[in-house]
Structure 1
Amino acid sequence: MSNNNFADNIPNNLLSLRKQQHYTQKELAHKAGLNSNYYAKVERGNGVPSLKTLYRLAKALDVTVSEIVGY
């Protein structure tokens, strides 16, 4: 494991996973039951999502939480 904090990987991983599935930020936020402004903030790296939020995003993207955090 690298010295990077796992949270540093979340924004880029979310962006990549979202684009692979052709969702807009607003569409993914809605599918995950999140506020679209909050989701945009997380994807920009201006916020660290809770474990519950990571789970909701993983479920919406049909991936594991590990895939989002890159661990």
Structure 2
Amino acid sequence: MYKASIDTPNWGFEAYGNTEAEAREALKQGWQRHVSQTGDAAPGYLEEFEEDIMIQEVAPGMVFRDLEPL
């Protein structure tokens, strides 16, 4: 399983998928829901800051400290 995450100036977002592509797409879909809920977030933000999306492979039972697996 994979986790896609990004921190914006105001919010932190995480999304999960069975593949890196699924996690990334879930994050983008979640961003669009956020845009529609808030009305003030930029719809193209994730495309503009695509290189800031962090992808991590995760598994049940894993523990992270400051985003690094222990």
| Structure number, greater radius of gyration | 2
The alignment's TM-score, normalised by the length of structure 1, stands at 0.31
In proportion to residue count, which structure has more helix? 1
Structure showing greater relative contact order (alpha-carbon pairs closer than 8 Å, 6 or more residues apart)? 1
In proportion to residue count, which structure has more strand? 2
